[in-house]
Amino acid sequence: MKKTLLAMGLAFGLTTALTMPAFAQAREVTFTTELRNYAGDGAYLALYLADANGRYQGTLWVAGGKSKYYKHLSGWARGSGLNAAEYDGLTGASLASGRTMKITLNLDDALIDSGYEIRIDTAVEDMRDHRADIAVPLTSEGSGQPQAGRGYIQSFQYDL
């Protein structure tokens, strides 16, 4: 799965939170998430940006079509307030066990190496929820380094 997002969409969402100049440079970032082989339905995932204290800053991607299940992605749900404007245009299908999802987004340069981290909450129907299944700092060194999650995520990496 490859989705390219207009710089506008995401940069705009984040500027409000970060009071960043609107003419900031943008960079293409690819997020690769691979799930473990677990016995169960497709997983719901929320990729979001948090500050160093884990406080929600903005939504990157939500995998899973039914908004009624979003409350199970509890860290993200709390931060975003499940406000539809937060994830509008940033959703796709749920991710089946063992599958890999690749998402490419345009991110503001200013977000990198500035103490932000990428978090992913995961949930599967009739199975447990994992808040911050993965939480990795968004840094230049971290690019291309796969990390294992503690829940359904087998490995996650971003490529700047």
Partner 1 sequence: MLRQLHGLPGLLAALMLAVLAITGAILALAPVMDRAAAVIPADGEVSVAELAGRVVNHYPGTEQIVRGASGEVIVYYYRDGQPGADLVNPMTGDRVAPYEPSPFFIWVKDLHRSFLLDDAGRMLAGTIAAVMVLLCISGILLLVRRSGGWKALLKPFTGSGGKRIHAELARFAVLGLLLSALTGSYMSAQRFGLLPEPVETGPAFPAEVSGGQPVPVATLSALMSVELGDLRELVFPYPDDPQDVYSLTTREGTGFVDQATGELLKYQPRSEGSALKQWVVSLHTGEGLWWLGLILGAAALTVPVLAVTGICIWWQRRRSPGLRPNNADVAQADTIILVGSEGNTTWGFARELHATLNKAGFQVHCSEMNALADQYPQASTLLVLTSTYGDGDAPASAQRFMARLEGFEGEKTLKYAVLGFGDRQFPNFCQFALYVDAALDKKGLARLHPIERINRCNASQFSEWGERLSEHMGVPFMLTYDPLPPATVTLELVERADYGLAVQAPTSILRFKVAGARQGWWSRFLSRKGAFPLFEAGDLLGVMPPNGEAARFYSLASSASDGILEICVRKQTDGLCSGYLYGLKPGDCINGFIRHNPEFRPAVGSHPIILIGAGAGIGPLAGFIRRNTARNPMYLYWGGRNAQSDFLYQPELGSYLNDHRLTGLNTAFSQSDEHAYVQDKLRQDQVAVRRMVDAGAQILVCGGRDMAVGVRQAIEDILKPLSTDVESLRAEGRYLEDVY
The structure tokens listed for 92 are 């796709």
**Per CB under 8 A, 68 contacts partner 1:** yes
Nearer to partner 1, 66 or 140 (CB): 66
**Per CB under 8 A, 117 contacts partner 1:** no
CA angle 52, 55, 58 (to 5 degrees): 105
Q: Per-residue contact track with partner 1, 21 to 50, x per CB under 8 A? A: ------------------xxxx--------
Using DSSP's 3-state secondary structure scheme, residue 147 falls into strand
**Per CB under 8 A, 77 contacts partner 1:** yes
Query: Per CB under 8 A, which region of 16-24, 109-117, 125-133, 137-145 contacts partner 1?
Result: 125-133
**Per CB under 8 A, 52 contacts partner 1:** no
Least separation in angstroms between residue 57's CB and partner 1 is 14
Kindly tell me which residue out of 131, 138, 153, 156 binds partner 1, with binding defined by CB under 8 A: 131
Query: Which phi-psi region, left, alpha or beta, contains residue 104 (left: φ > 0; alpha: ψ -120 to 50)?
Result: beta
Please name the amino acid found at residue 71. K
Buried/exposed 120-138: b ≥16 CB within 10 Å, e otherwise: bbbbbeeeebbbbbbbbeb
Distances (CA, A) of 155 to 41, 101, 115: 19, 11, 22
Task: Kindly list the residues in this chain that would bind partner 1 in the complex (CB under 8 A).
Answer: 39-42, 53-55, 67-68, 70-71, 74-75, 77-78, 81-82, 126-132, 150-151
